């Protein structure tokens, strides 16, 4: 088995130049189109009430303990969470590409959001933001070292954010691929062993579905944590 065949699952399958995963996005597109976004007065339709209640529940779960200064970030981060959740779940379908397994995609999300938060903090909470570079009570001879450590740690945040998401999604998909290949190889040798591996594969698939959901939450929660740690007061 060649190494590039293992990672070949991360190459998008196409039919007539159209990615197969586009077919899986159609239900999501129809769902969002079906939502009536026009402003209306009471009474609301059942569909509007259902969607509004889901948005409220998820927003409270994600950002319920945030400070008041975080309110402007609720809408973009909620949209980011929904987008990551859809991408991760779509990537679990056969012959589809999980965009979050590519570091180029995860960095393109992590760096702009993190950079916007830092810029927002320096513009509106400059004194509080600068104070994080030097914790109170630091001995004078450790001041230069602490400033350097805090400065380096600040720029590591978006890198760790992007790598964490891509690494977890990639590791899970590789395990699924290796187990599926093992089922076909061992089937000719032992049906019992092949059946046991197949059962393990199904359990691993269920676990990977959970990972897809959790990683969307973790990515959003870490952005909130970075804001609360570095920006808010």
What tens-digit pLDDT sequence spans the chain (233 residues)?
444 454 554 555 555 555 555 555 555 555 555 555 555 545 556 666 666 777 778 778 788 777 777 788 888 888 889 888 888 888 887 767 788 888 888 888 888 888 888 888 778 777 767 666 666 666 777 667 777 877 787 788 889 998 899 889 888 888 888 887 777 777 777 777 778 888 888 888 888 889 989 999 999 999 988 888 777 55
Position 19 scores a pLDDT of 56
Phi (first) and psi of residue 43, to 5 degrees: -85, 145
23 falls within a domain: no
Distance from C-alpha of 96 to C-alpha of 60, rounded to nearest angstrom: 32
Question: Are the beta carbons of 88 and 98 closer than 8 angstroms?
Answer: yes
Predicted TM-score (pTM) of this structure: 0.74
Whether residue 6 is contained in a domain is answered as no
Helix (H) / strand (E) element for 127: namely helix 126-131
31 vs 102: CA distance, rounded Å: 27
For residues 136 and 49, the answer to whether their CB atoms sit within 8 Å is no
Task: Check residue 188 and report its DSSP letter.
Answer: T
The tally of domains found in the chain comes to 1
Distance CA 225, CA 115 (A): 14
Asked if residue 30 is part of any domain, the answer here is: no
Q: List phi, psi (to 5°) of 218.
A: -65, -40
Query: By residue range, what is the domain housing residue 107?
Result: 45-230
27 in a domain, yes or no? no
Q: What is the DSSP letter of 11?
A: S
Pairing of strands 18-19, 14-15: antiparallel
Residue 20 lies in a domain: no
Please state, in angstroms and rounded to a whole number, the distance separating the CA atoms of residues 179 and 185.
10
DSSP state of 12: P
CA distance 113 to 76: 9
Query: 134: which DSSP letter?
Result: S
Count of CB atoms within 10 A of residue 73's CB?
21
- Domain membership of residue 22 (yes or no) is no
Backbone angles phi, psi at 35, to 5 degrees: -75, 125
CA distances from 25 to 30, 32, 50, 65, 163 (A): 9, 11, 22, 33, 25
The verdict on residue 100 lying in a domain is yes
In a domain, 163, yes or no: yes
């Amino acid at each position: 088995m060649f190494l590039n065949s293992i990672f070949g699952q991360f190459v998008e399958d196409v039919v007539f130049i159209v990615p197969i995963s586009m077919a899986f996005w159609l239900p999501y597109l129809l769902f969002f189109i079906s939502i009536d976004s026009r402003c209306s007065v009471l009474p609301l339709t059942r569909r509007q009430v259902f969607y509004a209640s889901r948005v409220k529940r998820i927003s409270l779960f994600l950002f319920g303990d945030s400070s008041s200064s975080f309110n402007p970030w609720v809408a973009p981060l909620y949209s980011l969470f929904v987008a990551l959740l859809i991408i991760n779940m779509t990537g679990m379908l056969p012959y589809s590409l999980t965009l979050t397994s590519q570091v180029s995609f995860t960095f393109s999300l992590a760096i702009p959001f993190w950079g916007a938060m830092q810029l927002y903090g320096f513009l509106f909470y400059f004194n509080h933001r600068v104070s994080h570079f030097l914790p109170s009570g630091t001995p004078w001879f450790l001041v230069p070292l602490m400033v350097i450590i805090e400065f380096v740690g600040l720029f590591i945040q978006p890198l760790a954010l992007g790598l964490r998401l891509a690494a977890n999604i990639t590791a899970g998909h590789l395990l699924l691929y290796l187990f599926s290949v093992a089922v076909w190889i061992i089937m000719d040798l032992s049906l019992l062993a092949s059946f046991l591996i197949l059962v393990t594969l199904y359990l691993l698939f269920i676990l990977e579905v959970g990972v897809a959901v959790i990683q969307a939450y973790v990515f959003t929660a870490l952005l909130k944590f970075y804001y609360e740690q570095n920006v808010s007061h």
